[in-house]
Amino acid sequence: MIILLLRHGESEGDLMDVHEGRADFPLTDRGREQAGKAAKWISKNYSVNRIYSSTLLRAEETASLVSMETKVPIELREGLMEFNNGKLAGIDREEAKRKYPEIPDLPIHESRYEMESKLEFRFRAEAILSEIISNNKEQEVVVVISHGGMINQLLLAYEKQPIESEIWHATGDTGIHCLRYENGKRGILYLNNTKHLEIV
């Protein structure tokens, strides 16, 4: 099985420099262009069998372009939404520092400011990854459209890294990570591929 993890394109929240998370911003014109290029690249290089997407607007918009190119319907999953950042959603980063200061050494099962805990976030990733692996055949290609934080959690879950791992996988706008799951073995073919953005 090939699993393509695709981050959404540039959103309006990215340009506003706010804590995005669950704040539901649409794509910018540039973001739609990025998503269109990613969709064309995926369609050209893979025969897609299934598309899963976060229900947040910036991911859904990206997924709709992949769906149009591949002729595969979108299956929405709330579990693929970005980290639930509670009261920080949509707030300017400087304002957030003043109103909601970071709490050091917070146990992974605890949360603050109406956020989900690190444990809950990882559990969502584990549940979605289990669904993908269990419900698709090994010869199929699955595209998963989500967000930087959730994609990082999916990768850490796939690699069986601990919840508090110091490893972080960067993901740019429409960055694609390609995983190969075969006979119970977990391989990574490439990470954060954005070659499609070089297409003129």
- The predicted-structure confidence for 157-199, as pLDDT tens digits, reads as follows 999 999 989 999 999 999 999 999 999 999 999 999 999 998 6
Q: Which of 91, 79, 68 is nearest to 154 (CA)?
A: 79
Q: Which of 102, 164, 87, 156 is nearest to 124 (CA)?
A: 156
- pLDDT reported for residue 200: 56
Residue ranges of the annotated binding site for substrate are 58
Lookup result for tokens 């990206």? 62
The CATH architecture one would assign to domain 2-198 is 3-Layer(aba) Sandwich (3.40)
- pLDDT reported for residue 38: 97
> 140 exposed, middle or buried (CB, 10 Å; 0-12, 13-18, 19+)?
middle
The model's pTM is 0.94
Instruction: Please tell me which residue in 20, 82, 147, 169 is annotated as part of the active site.
Output: 82
Per the annotation, the verdict on 109 as an active-site residue is: no
Instruction: Please tell me which residue in 8, 147, 177, 196 is annotated as part of the active site.
Output: 8
The partner residues of 143 in beta bridges, in order of sequence, read 4, 51
Distance in angstroms (rounded) separating the CA atoms of residues 179 and 199: 23
Per the annotation, the verdict on 8 as an active-site residue is: yes
